[in-house]
Amino acid sequence: MDLQPVWDWFRWLYEATGIKLTIFYDDFDRSRFFNGFLTSVRLMGVCLVASVAIGIVGAWLQGARSHLVRLVVQAYIQFFRNTPPLVQLYFFYFALGSYLRITNENGLSVPLVGNFAWAAICLSFYAGAFNVEIFRAGIEAVPRQTIEAAESLGYSRLKAYLYVILPLAFRISLPALNNNLVNLIKTTTISYAIAVPEMLYVANQIWSDEVNVPEMMNVLLVVYVSLVGLLVWAMSRWERAMRVPGWGVS
Amino acid sequence: MSWTPKEPIVSVRDVHKRFGAVEVLKGVSFDVMKGEVICIIGPSGSGKSTLLRCINALVPIEQGSILVEGQEVHDPALDKLALRRKVGMVFQQYNLFPHKTALQNVMMAPLHVLKQDKAEVEARARRLIKKVRLEGKEDAYPGELSGGQQQRVAIARSLAMSPDVMLFDEVTAALDPETVKEVLVTIRELAAEGMTCLLVTHEMGFARELADHIYFTDRGVIVEHGPPAEFFANAKDPRTRQFLSQIL
Ligand SMILES: Nc1ncnc2c1ncn2[C@@H]1O[C@H](COP(=O)(O)OP(=O)(O)OP(=O)(O)O)[C@@H](O)[C@H]1O
Ligand SMILES: [Mg+2]
């Protein structure tokens, strides 16, 4: 599909009205904005999956017999819930990152973990802490007798969790999970602060070069609204697909 | 020390169980032979459910012993899976898995726990659904079934593990009188096939008809027991008399 006419139209728009959307008609800006967009989407994708996985494992560990394990999980949740995500990101990147360095073959000291990876790790644990609590609330809503029925059929604790508790808790948790994941998507923008070349970061570069701040702001809003809309839509489809006839609130 | 059918399949000896400060079972003993049907009756809170839950190790006991096919249930080294394969349990509130269809509910444990072949499990599950007279309801979710139908799915689900002993805990108590019959028919058939059954029930007519032996419990002890004819005709203990006069 040849998009040249579209790009030309935006150039015409600029010439006719002064609305300067270089990300459409300037090849260099288009390519860096597109790469920024892809970086953002990749970061969101990684964090969505990882934070849900952390939530599932964390909620399982919260029910562990070992007091120490429960304490560690609780400390993790408190740390990530009660500190600002931006501070967490700085902490990971500047404090931990400064220790985690290796010397490469040219004798230079380079970071072991890149900034994208730090952002992904930090945001996943940040959203994961909330997901643990969300899933725990879901697990607590699963009737004790249902779990007992699984036990009486020979299910071990792990199997009961995987096949009975989690599927039910997950359905109960979906609305709250939905909110948290939307929040996660929006929070990925803080990785701007450690120079991850995501959408906000490249938009900043573009408006510095092109002096088109209002246009880029509008572009950012539209793109983020669309991404959040897409997530909400996907989640509600998922919620509907998982709905069980005759069970639950709706 | 291997068990033979000449010995009791379930042997409960001087079992004590407390929840915190409350002693719920205060030394209960009885034996059940293979193929026997025994009914446990007694007022609410007398520890009937607790007793059944002790038998398949859902709750630990403080004192005494429970043998199922010669195996000590409360031995810490016991393989709980092996025990629960032998002992099926059906609950008052059915406790089906609400996110799975009737057929899936019956298939789940053999697939997940016993890791049996799927085609074989499904064929068996369909036979069991038919046996409890729910043909056509295979794909219904628990929420789409009546209480009596759910309870029969729950019975089929337990039977899918091919247990040697079935525990029924007031399985008709949550049902309306019409549907009670459906469930009782199913249990009657099971008993007729020689399944060992321990029933906690308030259905005195049913107990009289089906039971080989009736136990009356009150406040954590067995007050009186005997074959139904004898038990109902000449109960001696005043507590039993009072209970029977209220319920009959
Ligand atoms: N998990 C528990 N924790 C604390 N107390 C319990 C627990 N389970 C049962 N009990 C107590 O033990 C006593 C016996 O309960 P149980 O359920 O065995 O009685 P029941 O004979 O089955 O009564 P019902 O006919 O009402 O079902 C009750 O006083 C109950 O409150
Ligand atoms: Mg009870």
**Which domains can be identified in chain A, with CATH numbers?**
4-240 (1.10.3720.10)
Domain borders along chain B are 10-247
The chain-wide mean pLDDT, for chain A, equals 92
The stretch B4-28 carries a mean pLDDT of 93
May I ask the CATH architecture of the domain B10-247? 3-Layer(aba) Sandwich (3.40)
Q: Is the pLDDT of residue A250 over 60?
A: no
> What is the model's pTM?
0.86
Q: What percent of chain B has pLDDT over 70?
A: 99
Tell me the average pLDDT across B123-127: 96
Interchain CB distance below 8 Å, A154 and B96 = no
A·B CB contacts under 8 A: 73
Residues in B lying within 8 Å of A, measured between beta carbons: 56, 58, 80-81, 84-85, 87-89, 91, 93, 95-99, 108-109, 112-114, 141-144, 154, 157-158, 161
Average pLDDT of B150-158?
Answer: 95
Complex prediction ipTM: 0.91
Side-chain-side CA neighbours of B153 within 13 Å: the count stands at 33
Atom of ligand 1 nearest to the CA of B53: 18
CA atoms within 13 A on the CB side of B56: 31
A164/B109 Cβ within 8 A: no
The stretch A135-146 carries a mean pLDDT of 94
Given a cut of 80, whether residue B1 has pLDDT beyond it is no
Specify the residue for token string 């995501």. Answer: A198
**At a CB cut-off of 8 Å and minimum separation 6, what does B133 contact?**
B152, B182, B185, B186
**Helical H runs in chain A?**
4-17, 22-25, 27-62, 67-81, 85-90, 97-99, 115-140, 144-152, 157-160, 166-187, 199-210, 213-242
The mean-pLDDT minimum among A98-102, A174-178, B164-168 falls in A98-102
Is any ligand 1 atom within 6 A of the Cβ of residue B44? yes
What's the confidence (pLDDT) of residue A103? Answer: 82
Residue B31, pLDDT > 60, answer yes
Residue A250 to chain B, least CA–CA distance (Å): 12
- Predicted local confidence at residue A111, as pLDDT: 81
Question: Mean per-residue pLDDT for A176-186?
Answer: 95
Residue range A118-144: average pLDDT?
Answer: 95
Of B58, B80, B143, the CB nearest to A247: B143
Q: What is the pLDDT of residues B215-228, one digit of tens each?
A: 999 999 999 999 99
Determine the Cα–Cα distance for residues A63 and A157; give it in Å rounded to an integer: 10
What does the alpha-carbon distance between residue A201 and residue A187 come to, in Å, rounded to a whole number?
Answer: 13
Mean pLDDT to the nearest integer, A111-122: 90
Put simply, whether A161 touches B (Cβ < 8 Å) is no
Task: Report pLDDT for A112.
Answer: 79
Q: What's the sign of the alpha-carbon dihedral A147, A153, A156, A159?
A: negative
- Does any ligand 1 atom lie closer than 6 A to the CB of residue B227? no
Q: Closest-CA residue in chain A for B59? A: A148
- Ranges A143-147, A241-245, B36-40: which has the least confidence: A241-245
Whether the predicted pLDDT of A85 surpasses 50 = yes
Q: Does A148 touch chain B (CB under 8 A)?
A: yes
Q: What is the pLDDT of residue A225?
A: 96
Q: How far apart are CA B241 and CA B116, in angstroms?
A: 49
Give the span between the Cα atoms of B15 and B158, in whole angstroms: 25
Distance A74 CA to ligand 1 centre (A): 33
Q: Looking at the predicted structure, is the pLDDT value of residue A39 above 90?
A: yes
Q: Whose Cα sits closest to atom 9 in ligand 1?
A: B50
A218-240 per-position pLDDT tens digit = 999 999 999 999 999 999 999 89
pLDDT at residue B177 in the model? 85
Q: Average of pLDDT values for A105-132?
A: 91
